[in-house]
Structures are given as structure tokens and as C-alpha cells.
Structure 1
């Protein structure tokens, strides 16, 4: 009778099951059918196929990276960060310009145009003495003919906190604010001859962001899109007597967010009335136009362009040495009444553009 094996005897180990990949199974199948020659042929074909698809795979990878980057750049948080970085860079450049100006002044040199005095609260204080005339015209040398000889105007006439910039165009001058992203004031010299030349000039209607301004200072076309406001001219297109001046009048540095009804009705009539007066005048008529920001100031667009509460237009007849003005709310129901005196205008707005009259 056979005896059972002792308990201490080891049982034969079970064979572990091994998983085979698809290529391994295929190799085994081919080995059984055709042998090593088929395996070599399969390996060559697989290598050639992989090499052929590598460029497509790399193209897909590059497309995925590009698409993801573009999607991220369109997201509001990323845009906000980019705008913040642009602002920091612009601020650094502005401070560098200020330090350069201080160093130049310490050596007795003349200050740069558009950079004078330290930052202060937003205000509009024009120079009060005739002796400051030369200094007041700095920054507008290329368009000095648009300004009255007796009325200085420069970036120094407003506080540095407005981030003022002087801009010259063919038919008008702009004292611009990088803070509000709008003009502080535009000035143009009208005459009978100029307006006769302007009468037949076609309107271009090609609006664009002003490339002369740094990114952190300027408005973009996208800021006005779907905002409910018109891009309201301060220096009117209809006043321009040259094709260049007409084109320059459509820069956003000449615009403010304006109520559409206000822009197309009461303001359009006021502009036409001023032109009629200038055609009858025997000499030059200087027109100052700009926004006021009173009370709560809403903004539009990613660049936060300020929406004015009021718009003003000041008319100065150089030969008669008298001036008058209108200040109208930026609303569709605004009414065009009798003009105010220059003294009333200064008291109402705090802007003393013609100190020799006040």
C-alpha cells in the first residue's frame, strides 16, 4: 500500500500567467506561421509607420499648445493680469522719464514736453501770468497755430495725477489724460477760409486707437463696442480742412463716451452754430472743447474709459477779445440754452484757459 507523501514536501509551483501585449501576441502568431522572417518584416513595417506618423503627432501637439494658449489669453483673469503688467511697465517708464527730467532741471536744462511738476490731485489750473507764455506752449510747438498767442496751454496746466500728454494734429491740439483715457481739452483755430475748405471734404468715419500713446494710457475700439455710448468727437470732423486732419480727428484720443442722442442732436447743433459764427467772424475763432467728470464717474471697456457727466465748449473771438461757453450734461434730454460768460465758465468748471480775460 502506497503511503502519502510527507507534509513537508513542497508542492510544485504553479506557473504564473503572463499577459502578452498586442504586438507580442502578433509576433507569436507570425512566428508560428512564417518564422523569424515575418517577425523581421513586421518590425521594419512598424518602424516605418511610426516614423511616418511622428510629424503628424508633433503637429497635433503644437496645435494643442497653441489653441490652449490662445484660449487662456482670452480669459478675463489672464487679460486682467496682462493689463496690470502693461500698466506696471508704463508706470516704470513714466517714473524714469520724471527722474530724467529732474536730473536735467538740476543741471539747468529745459524740461521735456508733457512732463512738468510732481503728481497732485486731479485739477485744471492754467498759468495766470503772461510771463509763463513760453513755458505754457511747450509740448504744442508743432501745432502752436491752433492756440491763441495770449493763452498758454501745456501739460503743466493740470495736475500730474491726470497723467497729461500733449498731442498735436494737423487741425487741432489735444491735452490728453492717460487717467480718464479721454481728452482734457481740445483746441482748434477756426476761420472763414478754413471752414470753406472743410465744406467739401468727405467724412472718413475710420476710428482707431492712437498709436502715439502708451498701452496703459489709451482707449481701444473694443472699449466702446456694445457700451451704449457713441465715440464723440471733441474736435469735430466737420471742422477739418485737410484729408490728414480729417483722418486724425477719428483717433480715440479725440473721443469721449457720449450719449448717442446728445451727440447726434443737441451737440451736433452746437457744433454747427459755432461754425456759422466762425464763418461770419472777421478774424480767428479759437474753440476749446472737453469733458467734465462730476460726481460718480462710470467707465466703459477693459481700459476703463471715463464717461463724462458734462461736455463743454468755449468760444474765443480773438479780434473782439471776448469769450463765451456752454456746459451741457451728457444726456439725451439736454437742452441748448443761452451761453454763459467766460467768468461764469471758470467758476462753473475751474478751467481758466484764457487767464488774460479773467
Structure 2
């Protein structure tokens, strides 16, 4: 679809879905988070996953040692980080709730397990597969190794998957609404879905132009974020679903191979963050963006001058209602991937 057509669709549907309106662009200070795991003689990288309302960041740090990769979750403030699950050396914690419980993947004997860590109680391996989100009640969502979306509270429950037998559940809110992606067996396409009150709804039902889409997050107001495209092989654009209607937020640069995808929305619904390709010739060049109801902005254009020459913001993990963003960045001096917290300063 042409850039001009996308811009017209974005304008019309954003207004329809309540996303049009003035908003001032913030300027962000970059705070690199310390880590416990890395050692100077090892290759390592850190990935920011989630952030709570107090500004604590959940991150995964991976270290290559003796040709093996070890990973561990860490919970970080600006002053220090602490290990989560010190005795588990292969973990990828993806999300946390206000109680400090986390959900993610733990590898045991080479097998991936969707896992839940209850603060102060330890880790439970729940199901072979991966967990992606956790709500305030400790309910987690994810996908089995056979790619079936599930909810796990006190027991495993598979989600109904109309139009296909496979899928992944990526997000859950405190009301138990679940979002994710279905793989439609009849066409080979993938569709964003929302599950609530026992019913799975294909979010492509009200957008027949969809070819492929996925939903990655949902806030407590039921606003869903993700991405979609209209033809196989076409770049995706970031998308927001509100009351069943979709608003296309677009991408930072038209004509890139991967396009853009929204990854998280804060509880107030004021800000969406995500990732977008920025180089039509290089699919590895990706920047984080923030959308504030009026426009999509490259986070690298919003950094303080003293930070702009030091970091490149690649991928936001989450945003809280204070406007703080957990993100993965490249430290330009040595090309090291680090977890950072972006704090709005004006």
C-alpha cells in the first residue's frame, strides 16, 4: 500500500478510534541500568522486558562463556540490579506484575518450560513451552511447544482457536482479557485475536483488508496493540484496536522490509511504544518509537543532546503511566547492547 494511502487510512481511523488529539512530545533522559551477570572477559548483552509503576525494570542478561550462552533475569533500579532465581542459570523473564511476580521461560535439561516466579516463594515450571505475560492475579499466558495458546492460573487451560489449531497468547490484563496471534490453517495467514468471557474473537473480522496481524499487548481498558499488513510479504504497520475497531499508526519509514509493530501500551492509554525498521536496505536497523495520540516519533529524536550521541534506542519493552520506558539500546562507544530506562524530562 502506498505511503499516501497509509497516511489517509491512519488519519481517518485514528480519529474514528479516539487516537487523534494534541499531545506534546517529551524529551527523554537515558539511564543505563547496571547488571549483575556480565564479566569483562565475556561477551554479553542485556534486553529490557518490562517496567512497573515505580520505574523498576525487568531485564534479561545473556552471557557467552566457554561457547555456551547463559541467561538470567534481573530486576533493576538506577542504582543496582538483583538476580531473579539465582540458582537457575537459563531464564528469560518477560513480564512482571505489581506484586513482583514474573512470567517467562526457564530451560531445564535443555527443555523450555513456561514458568511463573512468585516473589519470595521461588519458581514453578508449569508447562513445556513459553510464557509471555502475567497479570495482577498471577495468571500467566503463553504457548506450548506445539504452539497452542494457553492460560495458566491454578491449572492449564487451552484457548479456543477458531479457524486454526495453533497460536500464541502474548498478553493478558487484570480482567483476564487475553490477546495474541492465531495461525489460520485454511489460508496460512496469521490473525490477531482477543479472548474474553470464554470467547476468542478474530480481530481481523472487522478489517477484511488484513492478511496477517498479531496482538502483543492489552491494557486494563481493553485497548489492544500490535501490527498488521494487507498482503503476504508486505511490511507491517503498528496498529491499535479499540472497541473492536482498528487504527493504523504506520511506521517510522515507508518502504522498509519489516515495517513496524506496537509492543506495549500504558494503563492510561495515552502512549504506545514499539519498534520500526528505519533503513529500506538493512533489515537489522530498527529504532524504538513512541506514539502519543498525535504522531509516531522516533525515540532517538527525543533524547537529550548529551544522550543522543551515546545511545541508539532499538526496542522498547514497556511504558508505565509516569511515561518511563524500559528499552534495549546500543551503547555507541562499543556497540554493546544494554538495558536502559528512559525518563521524560519535559
TM-score (ref. length: structure 1): 0.30
Q: Could you say which structure has the higher helix fraction? A: 1
Q: Find the structure with the greater CA-based Rg.
A: 1
Using CA pairs under 8 Å that are at least 6 residues apart, name the structure with larger relative contact order, 1 or 2: 2
